Every structure is written in structure tokens, then in C-alpha cells.
Structure 1
């Protein structure tokens, strides 16, 4: 009888030990799931655009900046972003489909003819609380605007954003120097060449941040050019009040005396929880005949004023927009098919984020 009791005690002890071990394993798995999170997000957008002072036909008269340039009812893009955040490491896979996405990755594909849909693809490693290393392809750190229409107040984009870099492939290190100061240093392929480096040319990138104000810099010889490109860019903004924000962007780009420069103000006023108004006033000019404005005349310039409303219903944003582009030389045509220095246009965009 005594032997039987001892055997039962041993069996119960072994069972209890296994149960505790299993509980510990499950607890570790639960903690692991808490520190590693897979998330899916993205957006879809479409719009209607019409010229006011120019014909709306196969001539495709439109502002000289990127995106939102198609006539009539048109598609933007579908954006699907998968991100995985671990305790120290993670990744972002950002895919784009549609005309806006195609324009965003215009320098791809280079290696194949299958069609490139990768907007961003990078991994990161938090080396410490103040240092993060990022490797892969990521959207540019220059400029006030971005590719995704969700993060921009105006639906159409500025000339500075359109002709500055869209993306970089390489490695960068971000340093949190203090609560107020940040620094980024990077070694990158030629700008917008997302898939690989075709000629062994590299660009240096840097960013100095202070309380939400950023001074950005790139320098390096780009693919297809013989002289190095230098671009310096300031991006920032201020909360003037609880309802009024003023964004600022200025940039200067030069390659052996040819390039562009410009400045823009982005006043934005919140009227209610669901509606806001924003204005973009931009001056953009070319050194030499850079070719951005499309006049074919050296040292051309353009003044573009864009007024945008933003009405939010749950996760849907409706953006009506009126834009006026005025160039120093004749870059457009009017309704009589005569050369013109100005173009007035209207669009309404629908952007859904998830």
C-alpha cells in the first residue's frame, strides 16, 4: 500500500512539472507574440480631373508635376503595406498597383520585364534605444510630400516633390541624439534605382532634424550623368494654433550648373472634426533647361497655387481641389488651342485608407 502511494506521488509530481513547463512555454510564446506584431495597412484612391482653361481630350493637357494628371474619371493606386515589428528587428513590404504606383517606381523594372510593384522593401535593426539601422529600399527623406495620397493634404503634388527623388536603395543609420535632435546618414544607389546598382555609382545621404524641422542632403554621381548631383532640402512646419498649421518646403538641386530650386508654403486650417482647407503656394524654377516645366526654354519658372478641401467620413477622405499653374514661358494651350502660360484645372479625389 505504501509503495502504491509513493508511485502515485511520483506520477503526480512528474505531471505537475510537465504542466508547469508547458505553461512556461506558452507564456514565452505569448510574450513573443506581444513583441512581434504583423500588421496590414494601405489605401486605394481614384479621382476625376478636368481642365478649366484647356481642352479635355486626347491631347492630355495637365500640370507638369507627377500623379493626378489623367483626364476624366481615373485611377490612382492600390497600396498594400505589410509590416512586422519585433522587439529589435522588423521589416516593411510596401506594394503599389495602378497608374500612381507605376509612376512612383518609374525607374523599375531594370532587371526583368515582369513589372515592378515594390514601393518600399526594407528591414531594420534597433541596435540600441538611440540607433536604428535600415537596409533595403525606402521612400525618400527629402521633401514635404510623399507618394501615398493618405499622408498628403493636397491630392496633386508639387513640382519640387515630382522632380526630387522618390526613393532610395541602400543602407542608412538613424541616430536619436537627444529629445530634440536626430541625425541620419546613408549610402545609397543612384536615386530611384530600386532593384540593383547598374554601374557602381553611389550617393551619400544625410538628414539633421530638430523638433520636427529637417535639413536634408544628398550628393553623388547619378546613373547616366558624368558630374555629381547635389541637393539640399528643408522640410518642416509649425502649429500656429490648435486649428492652423503652416508647412514649409524649400529645395536646391544642381548637376554641373543644371538643376532646379523652389519653395512652397502649406497653410492648413481645420474647420471641424471632419473638414479642413489647405493651400499650397509653390514657386519652382530651373537652372538651365532642366526640362521639368516643359517650356524648352532655359531658366523657366512656374508659380502653382492649389486649394484643397478635405472631408472625412470614417476612413474615406474626399478631396475637391482647384489648381492654377502659371509659367514664365508658354507651356500649355488654351481652349482655342493657342499657346498659353497658364492652366486652371479641377479635380475631386476619393482616398480610402485601412
Structure 2
């Protein structure tokens, strides 16, 4: 979500199914996108998934641990909640909420803190047995410049995706995304920055 969460975790994770509708998750890892640990502190992961009724799925996850920040290491904590609901066999909707905070050493034993938040919503519709369309809207507030390194940055994003389900194991996707920010934080291939970004992507997914 927003490119503001870790893409990888290197560590261990365990899942415990309390019932058919509730599962608990716990883990320990090196930290955000760290194959090799950058410090001796580990990041702890806790989470839960809920399926109280058949069409509704909810997952909540939290990560907390020391991460490099400023001139040292400070505690970074993230909380992420995702919910999806199948209205019928063709239509589903979902929402996601993200909150990340970072303690930053300021010298002399003092610390400052920075945070960013994000909210997203999407809808997915099966137009035909092999054709699906998805629309997604995101809103991101990086008021302290923790993610973009420019304080007071807000942006909104709109994504439209078309998917062709060629078979049970292969799916082809085409995606168009537009981002608009209050500050020039998007960088192009020439190194210039802009307040807007347009992205076109093509994907092929194979399920083993």
C-alpha cells in the first residue's frame, strides 16, 4: 500500500487457527526490507485474521522494532488493517488503513517522532467469467516527511486495472495509475521531480 510498507521480511512467522473464523499470527524478523540485519534489534510481528461471516474478511497486523533513523536507531511501529466484503458473486469491495510512526534520535538522549497515514478503497467486478475490472483510490498523508523526505506532503492515487483470466493458473493484467501530490516528490528517468506521476503496467501471474 502506497509503497510505504516493507516489501520483504526475513525471519520466522507462525499462524495459529483458533477456529474456522479466527487465526492469530506472530513472528520475528530482521526489520523492514533487511535480508541482513542492520542492527542487533529484531522486529516483532503480531496479527489476526477474522472471517465472522462468509463474505467478510478482516485482517489486522502490527510490526514494531528498532530501525535506522537519523543518526541512530529508533522504534518504528506500523499498524495495518484490511477488510474485504463480497457483495455477490461478481462484485466485491474493500478498504485498507495504514499508520506508521518512527522515533528519531535527536542527540543528548532526546528523540523526536514522525508518522504517516494512508487510507485506500477498492471495488472489483467480474464482467464475464474471464474478465475482471478493479478500481482503487488511495489517500496518503506524510505530514512529517517520514516517507517522501518532504514535510507536509499529501497525495491521492487512482488506479484502474483490467484482468483476463486465461485459465485457472494464468492471469494477465493491464493497469493504469495516476498519482497527484502537494509537493514535487515523484522523480522521472531524467532525475527531474514532479507533483504528478502516471504509470502503465502489464503483469502476468502464474499460479503453481
Range class of TM-score, shorter chain: 0.7 to 0.9
In terms of Rg, which structure is larger? 1
Residue in 1 that maps onto 2:42: 202
Structure 1 CA distance for aligned equivalents of residues 6 and 147 of structure 2 = 15
Residue in 2 that maps onto 1:218: 63
| 1:132-147 superposed matches below 5 A | none
Residues 280 and 306 in structure 1, CA contact (< 8 A), matched pair in contact too: yes
Structure 1 CA distance for aligned equivalents of residues 25 and 82 of structure 2 = 15
Residue in 2 that maps onto 1:171: 12
**1:311 corresponds to 2:164:** yes
Residue in 2 that maps onto 1:302: 155
* C-alpha distance after superposition, 1:291-339 (max 9, x if no partner): 43xxx531201100001111122354332322221111234599xxx97
TM-score by length of 2: 0.79
Query: What are the ranges of 5 or more consecutive residues in structure 2 without an aligned counterpart?
Result: 52-56, 104-112
- Size of the aligned set, in residue pairs, is 187
Q: Runs of 4+ in structure 1 displaced over 4 angstroms?
A: none
TM-score by length of 1: 0.48
Task: Give the RMSD, CA atoms, in angstroms.
Answer: 2.4
Task: Flag the 1:176–1:329 CA change in 2: closer, same or farther, 3 A.
Answer: same
**1:239 corresponds to 2:86:** yes
Structure 2 CA distance for aligned equivalents of residues 302 and 271 of structure 1 = 30
* C-alpha distance after superposition, 1:239-298 (max 9, x if no partner): 011100112211100002223210111200001111111011001111311243xxx531
**1:269 corresponds to 2:116:** no
* C-alpha distance after superposition, 1:62-117 (max 9, x if no partner): xxxxxxxxxxxxxxxxxxxxxxxxxxxxxxxxxxxxxxxxxxxxxxxxxxxxxxxx
Which structure exhibits the higher relative contact order, with contacts defined as CA atoms closer than 8 Å and separated by 6 or more residues?
1
Q: Secondary structure at 1:168's aligned position in 2?
A: coil
Residues 280 and 307 in structure 1, CA contact (< 8 A), matched pair in contact too: yes
Out of 325, 342, 347, the residue aligned to residue 179 of structure 2 is: 325
Greater helix content: 1
Deviation at 1:169, TM superposition (A): 2.2
Residue in 1 that maps onto 2:106: none
Task: Flag the 1:237–1:217 CA change in 2: closer, same or farther, 3 A.
Answer: same
Task: Flag the 1:332–1:234 CA change in 2: closer, same or farther, 3 A.
Answer: closer
Greater strand content: 2
Q: Secondary structure at 1:227's aligned position in 2?
A: strand
